[in-house]
Structure 1
Amino acid sequence: MNNIKAWVVSLRLRTLPLALSTIFMGSVLAAQQNLFNGYVLLWAALTTLFLQILSNLSNDYGDALSGADNALRQGPKRMIQSGVISLTQMKRAMIICALLALIAGLVLLFVSFPTITFVQFVFLLLGLASIAAAIRYTVGKKPYGYRGLGDLYVFLFFGLLGVAGTWFLHTNSWHWIVLLPAASIGFFSAGVLNLNNIRDLESDRDSGKYTLVVKIGRKRAAWYHFTLIAAGWLAISFFMFGSPENMTLWPVVFSLPFFIRNVLTVFDDSKAEKLDNELRNLSLSTLLFVVLSALTLF
């Protein structure tokens, strides 16, 4: 494998559509209020992409240091594990991505707010927290991903903060009901992580990586997955029935069969390669969910 291909594999491009779903959902909600800002969409998307890539690279780096990436692992082969990319090279790439995320985030604040306010400072702190969280998932003395807290991180940063934060950057205003579609994306994103952890259950347990799946076991993890997907749809249902008339996302119902199929597969088949495919399918189903929501703009 050449070096360029190795880096492309490490970037885990298939995770990027899921990350963008948060930005797109917040932007769709803002557009429904005629408060859409194209520059906000552009720089929010870039910031999120850099954060997602940083998280992916940090995950490789941390798992390589801890030994979680080993011969027992069932998912796609990691490049540090294969010896194609060194720990030093990966660390440098992490620093570059962190700097790019910071720069994009600062530009995002500049295009979102006409004047310097306390809100900008709050968003700056949230941005720095996002960078730290992306790294600390598997890196450091007590990475939270090894203590079963990864699901909470994904729900907060790729759900509530990602969607509601994007809405606020577009509109410079707040509406509590936006937290409902934000929660939907958060639950679906946590479902993607849950599938990843179910796939890696054996190797994670043997290497001392105590994800939530390792703690509760395979059978309960399947029911937990059902709960995440059901909660996501429950949240969007509450939104559609309780939101103002000019804030509706009803076309998303056409994506429901794909989510049902995903849940049934988790209960039906425990093969790692099957779950790896479902991880990708749930990511794309979430993106479809968001794309369908945009149909209300036409």
Structure 2
Amino acid sequence: MATAAQWIEGARPRTLPMAIAPVIIGCAAAFDLDAFKPIHALLAAIVAVLLQVGVNYANDYSDGVRGTDNDRVGPLRLTGSGATRPRQVKWAAFASFALAMTAGTTLIVLSQTWFLLLVGVGCVAAAWGYTGGRNPYGYMGLGDLFVFVFFGLVATLGTTYTQAGQLNPVAWVGAISTGIIAMALLMANNVRDIPTDREAGKNTLAVRLGDTAARVSYVMMLAIALLLPLFLAYDYPWVLLVLLLIPLCLMPSWLMLKGKKRRSLIPVLKQTSIINLGFSLLFGAGILLTSVLA
């Protein structure tokens, strides 16, 4: 039976800033539209975090029962390590999804954005289908695309729309950038697992690109994500604060390009997660400062 500490580790808390980042950006965009609503923001954050935890447990369960995690280098996997029974991990994922749907439904009722019910169902289906089911899209190299869509576009734009009832360029640029950083984190994770994933038939984008190209793509993703806000600089000059993250990107980029041992890539996950959180805070601060000081 897994301990409480193991369950917390199995939830992969290092990835949770990736769930919070798009909500922060979406709230900044709503503020720019004079429509920030704290209760709506809190509910959006709860939905994002619970979906992230749910997909982490679902991934743990599905990869564990498929044998993909049998020779894994990295943080604890509850199913693959045998710390607890697979069924318990699966139900932990389902419970997380159910709580996320409850919070999401509450947000939809408050904002009267009923069409988002379908989006919510799509989020849960995508979270489970990443490595679960008969034809998991994560095994076909489509995981990166879905991460960009759901943990970038949907999370950010949904946060803004449920508060403001409309979208603006701030929301779109922020959504694209945070989605790309989320893709970079997944790429770092998958580069580390290329040997075991290839052997297990899990053809992630990293496996398809090959080790060298996948590592280079990580660096390019960070660069694109940080440079995109330049398109907003004319109207929102303080958004250039995101460029302060460039020094923070140097170490994970160096590790990705030069780290030969798979274990040496483990810190990149935490570093990339911090970069995304830092991006959201600096981006949001830039939007707020521009509005306040205008």
TM-score range, shorter chain: over 0.9
Whole-Å separation in 1 of the counterparts to 2:100 and 2:31: 25
- What amino acid does structure 1 have at the position aligned with 2:108? L
Shift in Å at residue 18 of structure 1? 1.3
Q: Judging changes above 3 Å, is the alpha-carbon distance between structure 1 residues 178 and 294 closer, same or farther for their aligned structure 2 residues?
A: closer
Q: Is the counterpart of residue 140 in structure 1 residue 133 in structure 2?
A: yes
Shift in Å at residue 112 of structure 1? 2.1
Identity among equivalent pairs (%)? 33
**2:30 paired residue number:** 30
- What amino acid does structure 2 have at the position aligned with 1:105? G
Q: Judging changes above 3 Å, is the alpha-carbon distance between structure 1 residues 69 and 214 closer, same or farther for their aligned structure 2 residues?
A: same
Shift in Å at residue 13 of structure 1? 0.9
Shift in Å at residue 227 of structure 1? 2.2
Shift in Å at residue 90 of structure 1? 1.3
- What amino acid does structure 2 have at the position aligned with 1:64? G
Query: How far does the alpha carbon of each residue in 1:30-85 deviate from its partner, in whole angstroms, 9 at most, with x for none?
Result: 123321100111000000111001100000011012110112x2112311122121
Task: Report 1:219-234 matches (<5 A).
Answer: 219-234=212-227
Task: State the Cα RMSD in Å.
Answer: 1.7
Unaligned runs of 5+ in 2: 290-294
**1:292 paired residue number:** 282
Task: Report 1:194-213 matches (<5 A).
Answer: 194-213=187-206
Give secondary structure in 2 for the equivalent of 1:35: coil
Whole-Å separation in 1 of the counterparts to 2:19 and 2:107: 17
**2:78 paired residue number:** 79
Shift in Å at residue 233 of structure 1? 2.2
Query: How far does the alpha carbon of each residue in 1:124-168 deviate from its partner, in whole angstroms, 9 at most, with x for none?
Result: 101110011011100010000000001001111111111122111
Deviates more, 1:253-262 or 1:139-148: 253-262
Whole-Å separation in 1 of the counterparts to 2:254 and 2:160: 33
- What amino acid does structure 1 have at the position aligned with 2:195? E
Q: Do the aligned partners of 2:29 and 2:170 also contact (CA within 8 Å) in 1?
A: no
Unaligned runs of 5+ in 1: 114-119
Deviates more, 1:204-213 or 1:231-240: 231-240
**TM-score normalised by structure 2 residue count:** 0.93
Whole-Å separation in 2 of the counterparts to 1:182 and 1:146: 25
Task: Report 1:1-298 matches (<5 A).
Answer: 3-71=3-71, 73-113=72-112, 120-176=113-169, 178-241=171-234, 244-245=235-236, 249-296=239-286, 297-298=288-289
Q: Do the aligned partners of 2:226 and 2:243 also contact (CA within 8 Å) in 1?
A: no
Shift in Å at residue 248 of structure 1? 5.1
The count of corresponding residues between Structure 1 and Structure 2 is 288
Q: Do the aligned partners of 2:65 and 2:79 also contact (CA within 8 Å) in 1?
A: no
Whole-Å separation in 2 of the counterparts to 1:295 and 1:215: 38
| Deviating 4+ runs (over 3 angstroms) | none
**2:292 paired residue number:** none
Whole-Å separation in 2 of the counterparts to 1:198 and 1:100: 32
Q: Do the aligned partners of 2:20 and 2:49 also contact (CA within 8 Å) in 1?
A: yes
Shift in Å at residue 280 of structure 1? 0.5
- What amino acid does structure 2 have at the position aligned with 1:34? D
